[in-house]
Amino acid sequence: MRILGLDPGLRHTGWGVVESLGNRLRHIADGVIHSDAEDDLADRLADLFQGVQAVIARHAPEEAAVEETFVNRNPASTLKLGQARGVVLLAPALAGLSVAAYANNVVKKAVVGAGRAEKNQVGVMVRMLLPGCLTVSEDAADALAVAICHAHHRTSRAHMAQARAKAAS
């Protein structure tokens, strides 16, 4: 199962693609989609949308996972981040992918084991869990962490469904 993880941001949206093979994970690719802060909001959102579309076209993921937006002190910034997240959710949905969403602390707990882990801890664990991954961007590492979280949750849900089906029969 090929999974696209996305860490939405208006300025920098991280993306990462992993392949989940049972309990094993394999790094496929990662990167960051940038928008120009000097452009109008609509143009920046269009850049994000087209960037996510290009990643989907190039890497053919089967599912996507997006980190949920946190609320910060500045309402205008929170609103803009929410709009960026909406575009990042829309692109895979329009491509026919199922899209899951995970809170930041759930992602950190799945990858690091602690919901309040620091960003550098997430990056270190991503590189440990995905041998060969050399990402240096925090945004891409966060997106890979979202994909890893989804892979873990997806596998757990599948095992529970099998156990329920076996118990019912």
- For the question of residue 38 being annotated catalytic, the response is no
CA distance 39 to 57: 25
Which of 30, 47, 63, 67 is flagged as catalytic? 67
Neighbouring CB atoms inside 10 A of 41's CB total: 12
Contact 17, 2 (CB under 8 A): yes
Looking at 35-144, which runs of residues are DSSP E strands?
A: 63-67, 98-102
Which of 30, 47, 139, 142 is flagged as catalytic? 139
- For the question of residue 7 being annotated catalytic, the response is yes
SS3 call for 65: strand
CA neighbours closer than 13 Å in the CB half-sphere of residue 29: 12
Helix axes 119-129, 138-168, angle to 10 degrees: 60
- For the question of residue 142 being annotated catalytic, the response is no
Which of 7, 30, 47, 142 is flagged as catalytic? 7
By annotation, the residues acting in catalysis are: 7, 67, 139
